[in-house]
């Protein structure tokens, strides 16, 4: 079965991202495919490359990046959600005259069309968070 995931929750306020990550790992271990993970609203913070993770906590950004690289999964931050939360790639940083990008290179910025494509191109689209 081919899954896509929609993550709505901030990594700082809820377990949505952790639960989605655990689901993705379990699905892959079970022989399924994860096509795309779309991060929307507060979920856009999941791609923040500038946050410093305490030593006793899991680095969620690196966890997502490793999973995506090993399994050819698209990690997409909603561009509107990301920009208004200060999450920019290098292209958007230049366009908006900001000093640097702030998202991990494993994540890409794109519009809601990617979410529609994820739903259309998958057997199931699962939502994590509210």
**How many domains are contained in the chain?**
1
Between CA 18 and CA 57 the distance in angstroms is 12
Q: Which residues are catalytic?
A: 78
Nearest to 4 by CA among 110, 104, 107, 114: 114
Tell me the residue range of the domain where 19 lies. 2-128
Between CA 4 and CA 99 the distance in angstroms is 33
Each residue's pLDDT expressed in tens, for the chain with a length of 130 residues? 999 999 999 998 899 999 999 999 999 999 999 999 999 999 999 999 998 989 998 899 999 999 999 999 999 999 999 999 999 999 999 999 999 999 999 999 999 999 999 999 999 999 999 8
Between CA 28 and CA 6 the distance in angstroms is 17
Structure-token match 């997409």, residue found? 76
CATH code, 45? 3.40.1260.10
Quote the pTM value.
0.95
**What pLDDT, on the 0 to 100 scale, is given for residue 130?**
86
Task: Spell 38-75 as b/e; 16+ CB within 10 A means b.
Answer: bbbbbbbbbbbbeeeeeeeeeebbebbbebbeeeebbb
């Amino acid at each position: 079965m081919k899954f896509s995931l929609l993550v709505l929750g901030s990594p700082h306020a809820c377990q949505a991202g952790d639960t989605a990550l655990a689901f993705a790992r379990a699905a892959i271990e079970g022989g399924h495919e994860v096509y795309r993970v779309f991060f929307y609203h507060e979920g856009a913070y999941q791609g923040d490359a500038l946050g410093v993770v305490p030593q006793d906590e899991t680095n969620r950004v690196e966890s997502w990046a490793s999973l995506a690289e090993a399994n050819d999964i698209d990690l997409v931050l909603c561009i509107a959600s990301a920009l208004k939360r200060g999450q920019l790639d290098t292209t958007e940083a230049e366009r908006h005259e900001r000093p640097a990008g702030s998202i991990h290179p494993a994540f890409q910025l794109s519009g809601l069309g990617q979410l529609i494509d994820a739903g259309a191109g998958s057997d199931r689209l699962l939502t994590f968070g509210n």
